Amino acid sequence: MGSTKEGFGKRKYRSVREFLADVWSVLRSFPGMVRILRRRTLPRAFRERLMLAVTGVYGCRMCSWAHTREAFRSGVDRNEITALLSGTADDCPPDEAVGVLYAQHWADSDAHPTPEAAKRLVDSYGPEKARAINIMLRMMRAGNLTGNTWDYILYRASFGRLGMQQHPRAGGAASTTD
């Protein structure tokens, strides 16, 4: 799990090396991402559910805003969006629940899911769709942790006055003072 500092309860990159490893992974996967989007391997609403599940774990305020908007546009209702961002998949369509729960586990495990979880994903969706889900999750991790890292820099540079100070799932209200 990414380290946190007192007053800033969100995961962020711990080092430049960790950031570069994620960037390299995303760049390496870019042709696969283009294929996923062109072939519509993952329906738009399912992609947004996956992204909201990851954002619910990492708590990036920018990703939360952007993917909430995109989820609305793709037909995901307000109650489901709220549930996904708070860490539950109860309102998720049954055929997407395995993927959404995997996404939460993937993010919670710092991108190191258990072999059993990875196998269940492949068994549920097949190898191509499972690979597409993993590519989407890696992309989301890079975006979320980058956003949180910038928020942390803003938080530190402003002596705690700016930047999101607490993750909503960490037991307190998220706040910004900018």
Q: Give the mean pLDDT per block of 10 residues along the chain (178 residues).
A: 55 90 88 80 93 94 92 95 92 94 96 96 95 92 90 87 58 36
At 43, list the tokens: 């329906």
Q: Please tell me the distance from the alpha carbon of residue 6 to that of residue 140, in angstroms, as a whole number.
A: 25
**pLDDT value at residue 6:** 52
Nearest in space to 130 (alpha carbons), one of 162, 102, 166: 102
**pLDDT value at residue 34:** 83
Q: Please report whether residue 171 resides in a domain.
A: no
Cβ(138)–Cβ(111) below 8 Å: yes
DSSP state of 143: H
Q: Please report whether residue 11 resides in a domain.
A: no
Number of separate domains in the chain: 1
Q: How far is CA 1 from CA 57, 81, 105, in A?
A: 11, 24, 12
Q: Please report whether residue 177 resides in a domain.
A: no
Q: Please report whether residue 83 resides in a domain.
A: yes
Predicted TM-score of the model (pTM): 0.82
**pLDDT value at residue 123:** 98
Q: Please report whether residue 169 resides in a domain.
A: no
Q: Please report whether residue 2 resides in a domain.
A: no
Looking up residue 159, the CATH number of its domain turns out to be: 1.20.1290.10
**Cα torsion angle, 94, 95, 101, 104, sign:** negative
Cβ(141)–Cβ(26) below 8 Å: no
Q: Please report whether residue 175 resides in a domain.
A: no
Q: Give CA angle at 84 (137, 110), nearest 5°.
A: 35
Residue that the structure tokens 């960490």 belong to: 170
Q: Please report whether residue 132 resides in a domain.
A: yes
Structural domain including 26 reads: 16-163
